[in-house]
Chain A
Amino acid sequence: MQLTVWTYEGPPHVGAMRIATAMKGVHYVLHAPQGDTYADLLFTMIERRDRRPPVTYTTFQARDLGSDTAELFKTAAREAYERFRPDAMLVGASCTAELLQDDPGGLALALGLPIPVIPLELPAYQKKENWGAAETFYRVVRACAAQHAQSPAVQRPRRADGLRPRCNLLGPTALGFRHRDDVVEVTKLLDELGIDVHVTAPLGASPADLARLGDADFNVVLYPEIALPAAKWLERTFNQPYVKTIPIGVTATRAFIAEVAKVSGVSQPIAETDSRLPWYSRSVDSTYLTGKRAFIFGDASHALAAARIASEELGFSIVGLGTYSREFAREVREAAAGYGLEALITDDYLEVEAQVTALQPEIVLGTQMERHIAKRLGIPSAVISAPVHVQDFPARYSPQMGFEGANVIFDSWVHPLMMGLEEHLLGMFREDFEFHDGAAPSHLGHHDAGPAEAPPPAPAPISIGWAPEAEKELGKIPFFVRGKARRNTERFAAESGVATITLETLYDAKAHFSR
């Protein structure tokens, strides 16, 4: 059992729903107890879709358990087919139905429906949402495209001269963080490079579209958490190489262009006029961003991309990096080692909270959950990854990928930080009644926010005392670095055997750590 205040991912069948809802002509029959239809709200409310997800639930109740829940499933599947006439049907179980062991896959196949029926085995007590989405996408791709596979020995015919190369975009789903606009931005980028997008999947694709996947020259994996197993299968089956770089950030977008050019054989230079991040970041207004201590957490792809942007493109210092995507733990560990850190690989919200509390960063780049932590600790934060809430499915064009994505990122990450002049003035004048210590940045408009000295949940007990004048001096340090100063001083005192921290100790510690 795991104590869970917030969960980073839903159960795997929600991942399967994201695939079914993203696609056209697919219906999902889910063996699930009454109440699991809450998942519809994710799509109708958070993503504001204008139609119901293509999901039929059996919604069995306690009184059904004594009778034939398998029959209930068969009826639901049959009626769903008759009503919705899909081109393909996914069938599976939610966590409770998994315990009943009715075998939805076998039952649905026995119905003899005249469409492909794709059984899903999603172990709900071991795996989670992204795994469920990846597994489902892989199964659907196989079911639809396998019949067109040729022997691996057959070489892909070269595209005729004068024809533009074409690729598939793999990974965007329903309920994906900025998937809608990332697809537009990457499609535009590829078009400028002279490359056509053949099929985008699963978002907007039908089973017939998936059957055509093999006709593309290569694949672009936008979201490896979802599309990597499918891309690897397509590589084995159709000799389609796939592009591994994820174009989030200016450096990454350049690397993406280089990799696409290599894979496709195009050699078209591309104008970077859309990318304002490099100049914005170089302009002197951004100088104060240098060395801002950032904590980064999210799914692996977004966390890795964010770390690179934060360190190479914005000049932040990364003090913590982690992910809840265990499937990509190795990549995140490697990246963290590059920043001299140990990666935090966990899906335990309380562990993340403890680390943020211990590190006292100046900005938290994370998920909706890290917004909770940051709010509690009074630290500025921006959302870089799912899970997200309704405000992160905005009406306006808001990609994370490509050059426009970098513009969006610059604006949204810098926004929560106190602006430079205000930061200076706060450091100089501590007792202003209005722009007081710990008040939220005044450009955010929360004038009456109380002092935001963090109420840390159960910090390690420290036996070292503070002399009053040292405590007072600590209060003169701007609040967003004060937590760090306190910890450093206490650590310095502990290491050098000082029992009471005086003014001297405070400045000794400052000198010690500024080396």
Chain B
Amino acid sequence: MSSSFGQQESGAPTLSKPGCDRTILRERGQREVFCGLTGIVWLHRKIQDAFFLVVGSRTCAHLIQSAAGVMIFAEPRFATAILDDRDLAGLADANDELDRVVARLLERRPDIKLLFLVGSCPSEVIKLDLARAAHRLTRSCSPAVRILNYSGSGIETTFTQGEDACLASLVPELPEAGTQERSLLVAGALSDIVEDQFRRLFEDLGISPVHFLPPRRAADLPPVGPGTHCLLAQPFLCDTARALEARGAKIIPALFPIGSEGTTEWLKAAADCWGIRHDRLEAVTAPGRARAAAALARHRAKLEGKRIFFFPDSQLEVPLARFLCRELGMRATEIGTPYLHKDHLERELALLPASARISEGQDVERQLDRCRQDDPDLVVCGLGLANPLEAEGITTKWSIELLFTPIQGYDQAGDAAELFTRPLSRRERLEV
């Protein structure tokens, strides 16, 4: 994992110029971000017959419970095997314990087809070999249940990188596609409605077959092979992309499908790859573009000229800032991202206004100082910062919602914009 963001960092903030012609502020210090375990909160709903068993401490259990428990009243498809001091005493014993916990779990939930053993900081630090455990358990549980492993630990992953790690662990499991067959694979968990919209658009464009990763059910894993062309639907899929490339798939470089421009460019990238004529793309996308334009016009009136500051959270910051600046006329003062994958974001970065400060990593106190100094109209940040900033009189948009809301595609462009207008409208409305 760590090789995926291999830039050198020292204690002091550094300014450096990567391939694209921009200055990036690199900082380290306290990072006010989630760990990758949080990805479970939406992944367990996307893959309906998968179960996520975190092997970690009470802190891990408490984290997912706090992040998801607010919403979840039914029995969730995730749990934690909490390590105790007996497990820390000897490793062999821990494997027996894990087998026992998995057996109890599968007994309770016979509907589970795919079980992820999710590594955490404690399990990584004590070097509990979950990959080997997954192999061993697969042998004893197959064919009923397939057992995989990935790390969602905070020391290795930040928030959405948990999804990257999860999907990357699925890639070796994908069936081999016939070498001659050309297929499109869309990688990244999308809401079901967005997935269906994209499926229809690709069909209208004449692109087929189209598969999505992750699938909605464990049995429907998409095939992959040298004929597979892959569109990334999310900007945080570095390891997944690399794993797909290792299976022979080719990544189609594109903007991310946020906003009308992003969606069009994203579809165009696939259309070009399939050699589809420009007028057909125009015809297929015209209704969507028109609807998005109409929806965005209303929000542009509210957002134009407003200054926005992004704290790092999900890696969605760069595409979102591009959308808000170019299609809604906002002005970004700082765009913070936990990691900047230069290759995947190259096109996005080229479209960002030159005045925007881009920062990678975080020293939260210093970044808060900069934020207060910028005095932006809207701050995108996590829930640990949102209410405290509101109490200082700064309007905020909490960023986690951007992962839980359908924002991709033409028909969600207006919804995506609305997420940013709502806190501003609310502040105007409230008389108390």
Where chain B touches its partner, the secondary structure class is: helix
* Bound: A48/B66 CA distance, A: 14
Determine which residue in B55, B66, B153 has the highest number of CB atoms from chain A within 10 A of its CB, and name it.
B66
Residues A35 and B67 in contact, CB atoms below 8 Å apart? no
Interface membership of B70, Cβ < 8 A: yes
Given A10, A59, A64, which contacts B62 in the complex, CB threshold below 8 Å?
A: A10
Interface membership of B154, Cβ < 8 A: yes
Residues B31 and A50 in contact, CB atoms below 8 Å apart? no
Residues of A50-69 at the interface with B, using a CB-CB cut-off of 8 Å, are 50-52, 56-65
Chain B contacts for A271, CB-based, 8 A: none
Chain A contacts for B19, CB-based, 8 A: none
Residues A35 and B63 in contact, CB atoms below 8 Å apart? yes
Residues of A434-468 at the interface with B, using a CB-CB cut-off of 8 Å, are 457-458
Residues B57 and A125 in contact, CB atoms below 8 Å apart? yes
Cβ contacts A to B, 26 pairs, < 8 Å: A1-B81, A1-B82, A1-B101, A3-B79, A4-B80, A5-B79, A7-B82, A14-B59, A33-B35, A35-B33, A35-B37, A38-B63, A40-B32, A41-B66, A41-B383, A60-B155, A61-B2, A61-B156, A62-B155, A95-B58, A99-B126, A100-B125, A125-B57, A125-B85, A376-B75, A457-B108
**Segment at the B interface, from A107-115, A295-303, A367-375:** A367-375
Interface membership of A485, Cβ < 8 A: no
Given contacts A1-B97, A35-B37, A39-B66, list 18 more A-B pairs with CB under 8 A.
Answer: A3-B81, A4-B79, A6-B65, A6-B69, A33-B121, A34-B33, A34-B35, A36-B35, A38-B66, A46-B66, A49-B387, A51-B391, A60-B155, A61-B2, A62-B2, A62-B124, A95-B58, A458-B108
* Bound: A59/B37 CA distance, A: 15
* Bound: A63/B361 CA distance, A: 14
Interface membership of A251, Cβ < 8 A: no
* Bound: A125/B390 CA distance, A: 37
Interface membership of B105, Cβ < 8 A: yes
Residues A11 and B30 in contact, CB atoms below 8 Å apart? no
Residues B84 and A125 in contact, CB atoms below 8 Å apart? yes
Chain B contacts for A390, CB-based, 8 A: 70
Chain A contacts for B66, CB-based, 8 A: 38-39, 41-42, 46
Interface membership of B104, Cβ < 8 A: yes
A7 and B122 in contact (CB under 8 A), knowing A41-B383, A56-B30, A59-B31? no
Residues B34 and A35 in contact, CB atoms below 8 Å apart? yes
Interface membership of A2, Cβ < 8 A: yes
Chain B contacts for A33, CB-based, 8 A: 35, 121, 153-155
Chain A contacts for B70, CB-based, 8 A: 389-390
Residues A1 and B384 in contact, CB atoms below 8 Å apart? no
Residues B58 and A124 in contact, CB atoms below 8 Å apart? yes
A binding-site residues for B, Cβ under 8 Å: 1-7, 9-11, 13-14, 33-42, 44-46, 48-52, 56-65, 75-76, 79, 83, 94-96, 99-100, 123-126, 128, 350, 368, 371-372, 375-376, 389-390, 457-458
Minimum distance in angstroms from A177 CB to a CB of chain B: 16
Determine which residue in B35, B62, B104 has the highest number of CB atoms from chain A within 10 A of its CB, and name it.
B62
Minimum distance in angstroms from A68 CB to a CB of chain B: 11
Residues A5 and B75 in contact, CB atoms below 8 Å apart? yes
A10 and B59 in contact (CB under 8 A), knowing A34-B31, A45-B387, A126-B84? yes
Which of chain A's residues has its CB closest to B389's CB? Answer: A52
A368 and B33 in contact (CB under 8 A), knowing A41-B383, A48-B387? no
Which of chain B's residues has its CB closest to A124's CB? Answer: B57
Minimum distance in angstroms from B73 CB to a CB of chain A: 6
Which of chain A's residues has its CB closest to B387's CB? Answer: A44
Given B62, B67, B84, B383, which contacts A7 in the complex, CB threshold below 8 Å?
A: B62
A44 and B383 in contact (CB under 8 A), knowing A34-B33, A34-B158? yes
Residues A57 and B384 in contact, CB atoms below 8 Å apart? no
Residues B155 and A38 in contact, CB atoms below 8 Å apart? no
Chain B contacts for A34, CB-based, 8 A: 31, 33, 35, 154-155, 158
Residues B155 and A65 in contact, CB atoms below 8 Å apart? yes
Residues A50 and B391 in contact, CB atoms below 8 Å apart? yes
* Bound: A58/B154 CA distance, A: 12
Minimum distance in angstroms from A189 CB to a CB of chain B: 32
- Chain B 68-94: CB-based contact to A (< 8 A → 1; otherwise 0): 011001111001111111011000001
Interface membership of B194, Cβ < 8 A: no
* Bound: A371/B2 CA distance, A: 41
Interface membership of B301, Cβ < 8 A: no
Which of chain A's residues has its CB closest to B363's CB? Answer: A79
Minimum distance in angstroms from A289 CB to a CB of chain B: 26
* Bound: A263/B152 CA distance, A: 54
* Bound: A65/B37 CA distance, A: 20
Which of chain A's residues has its CB closest to B124's CB? Answer: A62
* Bound: A389/B82 CA distance, A: 22
Interface membership of B203, Cβ < 8 A: no
Residues A99 and B65 in contact, CB atoms below 8 Å apart? no
Chain B contacts for A42, CB-based, 8 A: 66
Given B33, B82, B384, which contacts A2 in the complex, CB threshold below 8 Å?
A: B82
Interface membership of B144, Cβ < 8 A: no
Given B67, B75, B87, which contacts A38 in the complex, CB threshold below 8 Å?
A: B67
Which of chain B's residues has its CB closest to A389's CB? Answer: B70
Which of chain A's residues has its CB closest to B78's CB? Answer: A5
* Bound: A33/B124 CA distance, A: 12
Chain A contacts for B426, CB-based, 8 A: none
Chain B contacts for A50, CB-based, 8 A: 387-388, 390-391
Residues A96 and B125 in contact, CB atoms below 8 Å apart? yes
* Bound: A462/B133 CA distance, A: 36
Chain A contacts for B33, CB-based, 8 A: 34-35, 37
Chain B contacts for A371, CB-based, 8 A: 73
Chain A contacts for B386, CB-based, 8 A: 44
* Bound: A165/B37 CA distance, A: 52
Given A36, A75, A368, which contacts B11 in the complex, CB threshold below 8 Å?
A: A75
Given A10, A41, A96, A126, which contacts B121 in the complex, CB threshold below 8 Å?
A: A96
* Bound: A7/B82 CA distance, A: 10
Residues A376 and B74 in contact, CB atoms below 8 Å apart? yes
Across the A-B interface, the 6 shortest Cβ-Cβ residue pairs: A35-B35, A35-B154, A40-B384, A50-B391, A96-B121, A95-B57
Determine which residue in B35, B58, B79, B84 has the highest number of CB atoms from chain A within 10 A of its CB, and name it.
B58
A11 and B388 in contact (CB under 8 A), knowing A4-B80, A5-B76, A123-B85? no
A368 and B69 in contact (CB under 8 A), knowing A49-B387, A61-B156? yes
Which of chain A's residues has its CB closest to B62's CB? Answer: A10
A3 and B104 in contact (CB under 8 A), knowing A33-B153, A35-B37, A57-B30? yes
Minimum distance in angstroms from B8 CB to a CB of chain A: 10
* Bound: A375/B1 CA distance, A: 41
Interface membership of B365, Cβ < 8 A: yes
* Bound: A277/B168 CA distance, A: 59
Determine which residue in A1, A37, A65 has the highest number of CB atoms from chain B within 10 A of its CB, and name it.
A1
Chain A contacts for B17, CB-based, 8 A: none
Chain B contacts for A99, CB-based, 8 A: 88, 122, 125-126
Which of chain B's residues has its CB closest to A62's CB? Answer: B155
Chain B contacts for A124, CB-based, 8 A: 57-59
Interface membership of B98, Cβ < 8 A: yes
Interface membership of B424, Cβ < 8 A: no
Interface membership of B394, Cβ < 8 A: no
A44 and B384 in contact (CB under 8 A), knowing A100-B125, A375-B73? yes
Residues B388 and A35 in contact, CB atoms below 8 Å apart? no
Residues A36 and B84 in contact, CB atoms below 8 Å apart? no
* Bound: A51/B389 CA distance, A: 8
* Bound: A51/B387 CA distance, A: 7
Residues of B360-384 at the interface with A, using a CB-CB cut-off of 8 Å, are 365, 382-384
